[in-house]
Amino acid sequence: MGAKLTLREEHRLQVFENRVLRRIFGPKREDDGVWRKLHNDELKNLYSSPSIVRVIRSRRMRWVGHVMCMDGTRDVHQVLVWKPVGKRPLGRPRRRWEDNLRRDLWEIGVEGDWILLAQDRVRWKALVNSVMNLWVR
């Protein structure tokens, strides 16, 4: 399952993307002749492509849809739906890859069994596209 994107990493990616966009678009000259950096909302208006975080979320969901349509005997499918048994260590549970997926769905207002949703190709594709069109804070 590999890497999961934490909130801190998402924030750092967003900061990096804004820094690059500020470098590309340059400073803005005010009416009084003073130069200043562009604000985040000004960057979003200038750059119409989706943010890097939205692209990552959308591709994560697209991959899940692909895996869920696979035969249930495939290893990658079994790993995705596998539920381990036994005790968890003490403390707060670490956020899992599936938790990120559930959060992405929650942000677009979808709750329920994501496995059943992912098996419906048409609806899942619409959900993937709606994640791509979200504004990231």
Q: What is the pLDDT of residue 75?
A: 86
Q: What is the pLDDT of residue 136?
A: 45
**pLDDT surpassing 80 at residue 73:** yes
In this prediction, residues 73-85 reach a mean pLDDT of 83
Q: Which of 2, 129, 108, 122 is nearest to 58 (CA)?
A: 129
- The most confident of the ranges 13-17, 25-29, 53-57, 88-92 is 13-17
How much is the pTM? 0.74
Amino acid at 42: E
What whole-number percentage of the chain has pLDDT above 70? 94
